[in-house]
Structure 1
Amino acid sequence: MRILAGRSIATRLVLSSLFWSSIVLVLAGLILSALYRQTTERAFDDLLLVYANDLAAQLVSPDPEKREGSILGDPRFEIPLSGWYWQVGRVEATQRDMRSSRSLVGNTLPSLASSAPDRPFGETRKDGREGPEGRILRLVERDIDLGEDGRYVVRVAGPSDEITATVTRFNTALVVTFSLLGLGLGLSTLLQVRFGLRPLSELRRSVSSIRRGEADRIQGAYPGDVAPLAEELNLLIDSNREILERARTQVGNLAHALKTPLSVIVNEAGETAGEGADRIREQAMLMRDQVDYYLRRARTAALAGTLGVSTEVKPVLEGLVRTFDKINRGRGVAISLSCPDGVRIGGERQDLEEMAGNLIDNACKWAEGAVAVEVTVHSLRERAIVRIAVEDDGPGMPEAARSKALKRGGRLDETKPGSGLGLSIVVDLAGLHGGGLMLETSGAGGLRAVLQLPGDRGE
């Protein structure tokens, strides 16, 4: 379970299926191998018993020539030390009283009978014993009572390694067969898992389409156990949209409620002369900037990470470049743009316009003749990172002053227009979107502002 923790459902299903299938196949293989060995040994013993019965039949034959003649036509009993042997002799007989196959070449077969004097006579015994030249034999021994002619013991033996070789061939075939069977089971399990989990993959793609803004709801028909989940997700998306719509309405109402009184105060102060009126007008303008700042921040915080919201970067920057190019045409400031097609960020268009617009506006204020906007895409931990660099050829900014410029209201030069909120707004908006802003020295000696934002996951 620790190995499977954190893995996908498909991986867990496939690995668990392969694990238990392997256990079942191994156990089945061991059982079949044991059963086949028992069957092979039983068949081998039955063959030896057939030979022993033939010998016994010849012993009880009334025909003396048949009793003394050649017995068992199997040629393996004629080959010296072949492992196939038979031996017939009286109970407690000497070696001269025994008859044996030519393959024994003067050797004797071990006895399986108990040495106890009261052992039962007439039984058939089977077991393995060491024979000539240390070879392990499978031995069958049978007692024969011929009445007045005495009691005899018939022994027939065959090599145990033939049983082992047969079982080994069977085990090899079994391993190959079960390996192919296991491979087939693994492939069929993989196909079943992929087919069974396909509705979840389709659901994931539908949710991804909603997050990228390509769809409004989860569409399509799903199996009965997945359809309730899709419906719940649709309800969650609808509820999220309603909450965001209410947040937009509240922010708009608050903006209208505050801006109108402030505009009245500014207008009244403008119609009144004197130092007090100027101070009132200045503070009212500052209040309006602060209200705009916090309203934008509240709006962005409410919309940050919203499902189904993404923005293509290039059209927004092209519109901003055209606007600021017209505004600064009289100052001789040229604005260039380098941005690949199709680059998207997760967030609304207004937020990107706010952040990039503040950076371009700030660069145009300080530039002597050129402003460059460049967009690049990088990968960080399997996530696309969009970097928007805005640089100018102005006087630049000392490193010690850069941290102050990023703070709210931090103005380094009072001769330039503005409230000192531009860069701080960019910092706050970028932070709400999971990005950031860095200030560097440009190649022309001016300031280079690098806005870093997470790219849309569909990229």
Structure 2
Amino acid sequence: MRKGSIAASLFWLSAGWLVVALVATGFLLTDLYSRALDNSLADSLDFQVESLTAALLETGDPLSDEIRVTDPRFDRPRSGWYWMIRDADGTLYNLSTSVVGIDVPAMMGPPDARGRRTAIVDDAFGTRLRVVERTVTLAPRTYQIVVTGNLSEILELVEGFRGQTFIVLGAVGVMLAIMSAIVARFAMRPISRLSQAIESVREGESVAVTGTYPREIAPLAEEVNELLRSNVQIIERARNQVGNLAHGLKTPIAVLRNEAASKKGALADVVLAESEKMSSMVSTYLERARLAARTSVVGKKADSTMIMLRLTRVMRKIHPGVTIAFQRPDASLPWFRGDEADLEEMAGNLLDNACKWSKGQVGVRLSSERSDTGAMLLIRIDDNGPGLSEEDAQKVLRRGVRLDEKTPGSGLGLDIVKELVDVYGGSLALKRSALGGLLVELRLPTARLGGISKPAAA
């Protein structure tokens, strides 16, 4: 059961954290930039306040023309950069040329350690201002020196910086995401190599998992090889035990059969009949042990096209009165994953039965199809004979069942085919043929393409 990709999971997990980190970084950088600009504005306003305070104290006259600020921003009307000198009653004594149609309200609250008050207000034109106010006493009067800076400009700079920051971080994020995908791909390459090595074993190209792997997955490769070795030993042990048991029973059964055959009477007949049944069962299990031993060998594959071509030629000689039409597959037809003799036995039995029951016409087709378990080799054999009903189709797959005793044979052919199909994990279906007779569909596992020679003409 598959559940997504490790590489994809790593990529999306790292990409998710990357997005969160970059977004947080963008807001953090924007905040730091905003604080830096605001601090720079505050320092600039403090400097201007100190300059105006020094000029006022030096001249002693708040109306003096010598009290001025050299920064040209204080000369532009509605610039947001203003300075003024007023008394506690709000009477203006001196101001910058930029002060046109505005009034900075007096600030409330106690001053700081340096005698200043700060606030953020909006002027009459909607510009946000940072205000610094300092009180200076020149007996007998007390004056307020007010300086403002354009805070809206800083906010616009911060917004522009934020947009540029996220564009740059977005580009960095894309590059990091690409790097993350590449890293995930390279990190998963050993697992892909391990998967290919295991598939090579399954496809018959190797008998064990080979290659060098990182220490994180090297134990997995070793465990797979150990499992393969253990599986071979278990199958070999079971086959030997079944074979030994069956061979051990053959001699006593033969003795009973011979003794019963030499005697007369009901008891002898019963013993002879039962010994025949036991002999048949022993032969059956010996055959099953032989099939299990053959199909349990890892690393076999067969060219299905060449085998069917060979069987077609043989059946044409055995049944000269039957026309066998073999539909040649294309060169991409996959091979059968298993023993060549087993495929010959399965296909040969089915083709021979089709020739026996046909009325002179048999069709053979090879193709491949996809299923839930992977790619499957599909062999279709149909004839124009009498065919079978659904009930009869189920019966003929049972051991020894024959629908017509006049036709030569033991009745075990289809059952042997069914056993081999089950061992290989395939399927066998009997249907109605378009020719009017029986259609047999044999599905078997496929191996990788490799070394397929061009089939000769049938």
| Corresponding residue to 1:39 among 25, 36, 40 | 36
Letter in 2 for 1:124: R
Contact 1:61 1:67 in 2 (8 A): no
| Corresponding residue to 1:130 among 104, 122, 128 | 122
| Corresponding residue to 2:108 among 106, 113, 120 | 113
Letter in 2 for 1:35: L
How far did residue 101 of structure 1 move? 2.2
How far did residue 66 of structure 1 move? 8.7
Deviations 1:22-41 (A, max 9, x none): 22222222222222211111
Structure 1 window deviating more from structure 2 (318-327 vs 22-31): it is 318-327
Letter in 2 for 1:377: S
Structure 1 window deviating more from structure 2 (358-367 vs 292-301): it is 292-301
How far did residue 8 of structure 1 move? 2.4
How far did residue 268 of structure 1 move? 9.7
How far did residue 206 of structure 1 move? 0.9
SS at match of 2:377: strand
Q: Would you say 1:101 and 2:73 are equivalent positions?
A: no
How far did residue 126 of structure 1 move? 2.3
How far did residue 89 of structure 1 move? 1.0
Deviations 1:257-301 (A, max 9, x none): 566777889999999999999999998777665544444445545
Q: Would you say 1:140 and 2:132 are equivalent positions?
A: yes
Whole-angstrom distance in 1 between the partners of 2:447 and 2:384: 32
Structure 1 window deviating more from structure 2 (399-408 vs 11-20): it is 399-408
The equivalent of 1:50 in structure 2 is 47
Task: Report the TM-score when normalising by structure 2.
Answer: 0.84
How far did residue 429 of structure 1 move? 3.1
Task: Report the TM-score when normalising by structure 1.
Answer: 0.84
Contact 2:351 2:381 in 1 (8 A): yes
Q: Would you say 1:193 and 2:188 are equivalent positions?
A: no
Aligned length: 447
Letter in 1 for 2:99: L
Q: Would you say 1:29 and 2:26 are equivalent positions?
A: yes
User: What percent identity do the matched residue pairs reach?
Assistant: 38
* Residues 332-351 of structure 1 mapped to structure 2, 5 A cutoff: 332-340=321-329, 341=331, 342-351=333-342
Letter in 2 for 1:225: E
Structure 1 window deviating more from structure 2 (423-432 vs 188-197): it is 423-432
Q: 1:397 to 1:269 in 2, by over 3 A?
A: farther
SS at match of 1:198: helix
Contact 2:324 2:363 in 1 (8 A): yes
How far did residue 377 of structure 1 move? 0.8
The equivalent of 1:171 in structure 2 is 162
Contact 1:293 1:425 in 2 (8 A): no
Contact 1:131 1:137 in 2 (8 A): yes
Contact 1:112 1:125 in 2 (8 A): yes
Whole-angstrom distance in 2 between the partners of 1:21 and 1:76: 43
Q: 1:6 to 1:370 in 2, by over 3 A?
A: closer
Whole-angstrom distance in 2 between the partners of 1:120 and 1:197: 63
The equivalent of 1:19 in structure 2 is 16
The unaligned stretches of length 5 or more in structure 2 are 451-458
Contact 1:304 1:433 in 2 (8 A): yes
Whole-angstrom distance in 2 between the partners of 1:53 and 1:305: 96
Letter in 2 for 1:77: F
Contact 2:239 2:292 in 1 (8 A): no
Deviations 1:203-240 (A, max 9, x none): 11111111111012222222233333322322222222
Deviations 1:6-48 (A, max 9, x none): 3322222222222222222222222222222111111111112
Q: 1:167 to 1:89 in 2, by over 3 A?
A: same
How far did residue 319 of structure 1 move? 3.5
How far did residue 315 of structure 1 move? 3.2
SS at match of 1:397: coil
Q: 1:388 to 1:205 in 2, by over 3 A?
A: same
How far did residue 379 of structure 1 move? 1.7
Whole-angstrom distance in 2 between the partners of 1:107 and 1:307: 94
* Residues 228-239 of structure 1 mapped to structure 2, 5 A cutoff: 228-239=219-230
Q: Would you say 1:380 and 2:371 are equivalent positions?
A: yes
SS at match of 1:73: coil
